[in-house]
A = this chain, B = another copy of it.
């Protein structure tokens, strides 16, 4: 007989850049999505769940070419020759949905959406290729009130998600102001505007003097290497620096400084008026500079923004992997994108919205120790006699009927120690024991595992005796005593 070659076993591994989420992590994200979604809903936004898969052409931005059609997205070719892809954000699908269903949707269309998005990027530590976003957008409103509302709602959403006031700030800027500054700095449009934008983005790192050098003749960096300048003249750099350093004590002061920076640029003046309107509306609602500030140094990366842009940043410090303090940074961003629906319909449809990076927010709460690492496990009914499973099932049925999370141990019951180890691993609050003797006597043993663990750790002999962690109770008192112990455990939790 010929030898049969066995196929090699598949590897039990998530693909690189993907991960699994267990128990407490799933619950924490679920709670956060529900909290944020609750705020969006109360603000009048309506839920939308679009499919995870879109045509590559509808997603846009990533255009097919011959070799690797879809850098940045996960894409594949259909039998029909069409290319499909996993969505990389929730905004591109919204533009498609609005264009497709615009005759049936109310206008303005206010929608929120939450779910995973996928990026075909190189994975790295803490960088995953699937992560959750939670977005809210208003499509069909050109009013700055829509932008102001989104910023206010973002504050409320962050607080609902567990970020305390003072631990975050929402920073607002406007692309039009930036365009105005560039008009003034470079009226002949000879300079490389992208290089100027990249330089502006370095303000946090290199400061005012550094940016001035980079905008003009160049700069020696910390390592001694020389970085070429953008080549603006000193007087051309002035409005850019004025823009970058425009932030004053108050919104009014910042706006006055910006007015200086844009000179007589028309688009710049429009941008400043827009920021002014937003600031007024926010201030009227009590969203002051402790929560929202106008900050000209905000430059959002996405190319489709056409007006106000915003970013939420956590202001508390965390320790990085080398133990150095750093600010946690951005957890949400958004802005106005008036041309995204136009791609489909040819007609301009103004739109603005925000996206919260839920997984980053969860990571921040983890770092701050504000998320539970484990959930409470179920009450475990141990199995002393495998022929009496029906008795144990009757018990667990009573507990579940009273709304208590409970289960019968379903592993091999031979080794009782394994059953208690299992209960421990599950974080079970209580174990219930009914052997043959107990059955005959009409009683059960109830072990308070939380108290037991506490006593085992640091109790004196007196405490141990004074507060037993195992009780013998009549079988009929099962539910009442379990409820009582659970209530005591809750009361004991700091």
Give every chain B residue within 8 A of A484 (Cβ-Cβ): none
Number of interface residues of A (CB under 8 A): 96
Add 13 more A-B contacts to A15-B78, A23-B47, A286-B397 (CB < 8 A): A9-B346, A10-B58, A10-B60, A10-B344, A15-B82, A20-B101, A21-B49, A42-B404, A44-B406, A53-B74, A106-B422, A141-B410, A149-B393
With both beta carbons as reference points, the residue of chain B lying nearest to A148 in the complex is identified as B393
Which of A10, A143, A285 is the most central at the interface, judged by chain B CB atoms within 10 Å of its CB? Answer: A10
11 A-B pairs with CB atoms under 8 Å apart are A9-B344, A10-B55, A14-B54, A21-B50, A26-B47, A44-B405, A53-B74, A110-B407, A142-B412, A145-B393, A145-B408
Which one, B12, B21, B411, contacts A140 given CB within 8 A? B411
- The answer to whether A19 has its CB under 8 Å from any CB of chain B is yes
- The answer to whether A426 has its CB under 8 Å from any CB of chain B is yes
Query: Which A positions have Cβ atoms within 8 angstroms of B?
Result: 9-15, 18-23, 25-27, 29-30, 41-44, 46-55, 57-58, 60, 68, 74-76, 78-79, 82, 84, 96-97, 99-101, 106-108, 110, 116, 118, 129-130, 138, 140-143, 145-146, 148-149, 280-281, 284-286, 343-346, 375, 377-378, 380, 389-390, 393-394, 397, 400, 403-408, 410-412, 422, 425-426
Q: Are A10 and B51 in contact (CB under 8 A)?
A: no
Distance of A358 Cα from B346 Cα, bound (Å): 38
Q: Are A390 and B280 in contact (CB under 8 A)?
A: yes
Give every chain B residue within 8 A of A52 (Cβ-Cβ): 52, 116, 118, 130
With both beta carbons as reference points, the residue of chain B lying nearest to A51 in the complex is identified as B18
Which one, B13, B284, B405, contacts A58 given CB within 8 A? B13
Which of A108, A344, A393, A394 is the most central at the interface, judged by chain B CB atoms within 10 Å of its CB? Answer: A393
Q: Are A281 and B389 in contact (CB under 8 A)?
A: yes
Q: Are B26 and A393 in contact (CB under 8 A)?
A: no
Q: Report copies per complex.
A: 2
Distance of A140 Cα from B411 Cα, bound (Å): 7
Distance of A380 Cα from B10 Cα, bound (Å): 57
With known contacts A106-B422, A107-B422, A343–B10 Cβ distance under 8 A: yes
Give every chain B residue within 8 A of A26 (Cβ-Cβ): 47-49
Distance of A280 Cα from B403 Cα, bound (Å): 24
Distance of A146 Cα from B392 Cα, bound (Å): 13
Give every chain B residue within 8 A of A41 (Cβ-Cβ): 405
